[in-house]
Structures are given as C-alpha cells and as structure tokens.
Amino acid sequence: MTLETSETTKRGLRESQWLVIRRCLAIIRRAQRGPATRDELIQAMLEEERPKVYGELDDEKALRRRLEKDLGRIRNNLMVDLRFDRRAGGYVIKDTWLPLLDLPDEDLATIAWLEQTFDHDSPKHDEVHALLGRLRFYLATERKRKIERHRTALVMDLRQRDEDEIRPVVWDGLTKAFMERRQVELLYLSPRYEDELPRRHVVEPYEPYYFDTTRGHYYLRAYCRHVEGPDGRADPCRYLTYRLGRILGLTVLPQKLPPMPPRALRYAVEYELTPKIARLGITRHPGIDIQEVKRREDGSVVVRGETGNVFWAVRTLLHYGPNCRVLGGPEMLREMRTTVQKMAEMYAEEG
C-alpha cells in the first residue's frame, strides 16, 4: 500500500466516524422534540446524511439494523439513554449522563425566577413548567444546583411570611428529589380526614414547590400515584396540591420519574355573572382559563372555560357571593353545590 493510499484510507475512516457522530446527533435532536417512532428516527438520519450514507440503502431491514447500531452508540458512547417507551408511544430520552445543554449563569437565574413566579394558577402554567423541565433535564448536575441556589435566594424572604413549621427534611428532600427526578413518599396530614391521622402519598414532583402569595403558604403540586392509610389504598393518578407545613415526613425514593410528565386533567367551567358585576367587565382569574364570554340582553354574562383545580376554582368564584352561579361542568357544579349546602347548614338558624 502506497503512502497516498494509506493517507486516503485514514482520511476516509475519519470521515466515516464523523458521519456516524452526525447521524447519532440527528437521532438525539429528533428525540428531544418529543416521542418518535422508529420510522421518524430513520427519517431524521436520512435527512441528515443522504446521500453519503443511506443513498444505497433502500432495504428497510438494512435501515433498521443501522438504526439499532446507532442507538447502541448513543447509549454506550454518548451516554444518552434513548429507548422505546410504550406509554409515550415512541422513543424517548429516559436519562442522560452526558449533559446535552449548558447555559450562561444569567439564563440559569432566569429559569429560577420563572419557576418561582409561575405557580399553578398562572396563565400557561403547564406549558411554562414543561419547557423549564426540559431545559433542566439536559443540564449538568452542577448547573442544576446553580438554579437551586438562585431559587433559594429568591424564597428566603418568603419563608419568613409562612407561619407553618416546615421541617428541614422537607426542604432538603424536595430539592434533592426535584434535581434527581425521583419519586418521594410523603407522610401527609390532610384536614379532609376526620380521624386526624396522616396518610402516605407516593408522588412525582415534576416542578419545585412554590409560595402562594394569596394564601400565604408554601405548596407542592405533584402527581400522586397512590395513597395509603387506615381506610386502605387509593390510586388517584392525578395532580394534587400539598401544603408543605402539613408534610410530617418525607423520603426520597430510588424510582426515577418517567421522562414525560403525565398530562394534567382539565375540567370544564361554566358560570353566569349578574349585570351588577358584568357591567364593569370580566375579571380573568388565575386558575380559570376563560375561552368564551357570552353577553345577554339583560347585561348578565355566561363565561365558559376550563380549570386544572376544581377546588380552588370554586373558592375563587365564591367571592362573588350571590352575584355568580355555576352552571357546569359536572365537577364544578358538584363541588359548588356541596360547598354551598354545607355553608347553608352551618348558618341555618336553629329551631
């Protein structure tokens, strides 16, 4: 073999290695967009490398074999756990030991501010926290810690306003679980149970705790997998809100969170406002996403929308007193009727 031939071979080998890297990065970029089918990953590779690599590979089996080899390289060499997830319906990045993103310190401070500002009653709450969660997911652990340091500085003053006694194990455990994307077990004392006994909740914290300026307390909104107590086990499988001062104990569990947060349930809201209230305009309350306002000839209005929290939406509308009547949806109407009935019984005159 001549020197020229040898150099050409070396150059060709190096070029093919770079093509493999670009191919793998194309697969990762497609997975970052959302769950992807096998064909969608192959299409991402074809768009990146055609015609250099796949121009002669028209056989579907050959393309699938090449994809499997690239997925192995991504997991073993790039340390990105990209696998098929049945629940998500496609290939997703389950974890990454090689950071795929870094940001300037000022951007990390902005993430901390957004996390603290956009509580669950804020407009586009789910979308904002989904975006912030994706950004956090691809950062190195030390950069995530930097966000937490910024967030701690933001909440120090608010801590003084919460009269609850929040245990250090709760502060520290929630921070650890959120950074490491792990499930937690809460020993939670809820006022809804008359026996005054705590229940064990296994939850998934996809977003950090927040301070509610209206109610003056710290809360955690997390996806509850199951609850165990004296009355047995229940599997809510929905987002619940926990007041940090009522968490008596907390254990960070080894189970990692799924790569895709479960979707939050949305509930229909329909209510009418009397002319006395409606004549000065419609207030858009946090936690109620208004989608339609229909004005009547008498000056009253019918408002339609949706909410992610029926409990707080009902209490928001209660401040209108007799000037507001809930018409639907079914969960809102049931909660309002129950609340008003109990209030009527409490204030009913004896005898």
Residue 254 has a pLDDT of 95
d(CA 143, CA 102): 8
Distance of alpha carbon 278 from alpha carbon 272, whole angstroms: 9
Residues facing residue 184 across a β-bridge: 203, 252
- The CB-side HSE value for 148 (13 A sphere, CA atoms) comes to 21
What tokens appear for 282 in the block?
A: 């419609």
**Contact, 181 vs 256, CB < 8 A?**
yes
Per-residue confidence (pLDDT) for residue 121, from 0 to 100: 65
CB 116, CB 109: distance < 8 Å: no
Element (H, E) at 338: helix 330-347
Q: In whole angstroms, how large is the CA radius of gyration of the chain?
A: 26
- Nearest 5°: the CA angle 152, 126, 31 is 100
DSSP tag of 120: T
Q: Are 245 and 291 in contact (CB under 8 A)?
A: no
Q: Are strands 217-229 and 238-243 parallel, antiparallel or unpaired?
A: antiparallel
Candidates 152, 241, 164, 233; CA nearest to 203 is 241
Burial letters 14-26, b for 16+ CB under 10 A, else e: eeeeeebeebbeb
Q: Report the b/e string of 207-237 with b at 16+ CB within 10 A.
A: bbbbbbeeeebbbbbbbbbebebeeeeeeee
The pLDDT of residue 58? 58
The span from the CA of 77 to the CA of 220, in Å, is 37
pLDDT, mean of each 10-residue run, the chain (351 residues)? 42 69 93 94 84 56 90 94 91 92 94 82 79 92 89 66 82 90 95 89 91 80 94 92 94 91 90 89 83 92 92 91 93 95 83 47
Helix (H) or strand (E) holding 211: strand 210-212
Identify any residues that bridge with 288 across adjacent strands, giving them in sequence order: 307
CA gap 243, 183 in Å, rounded: 17
pTM of the entire structure? 0.67
Cα distance between residue 261 and residue 125, in whole Å = 14
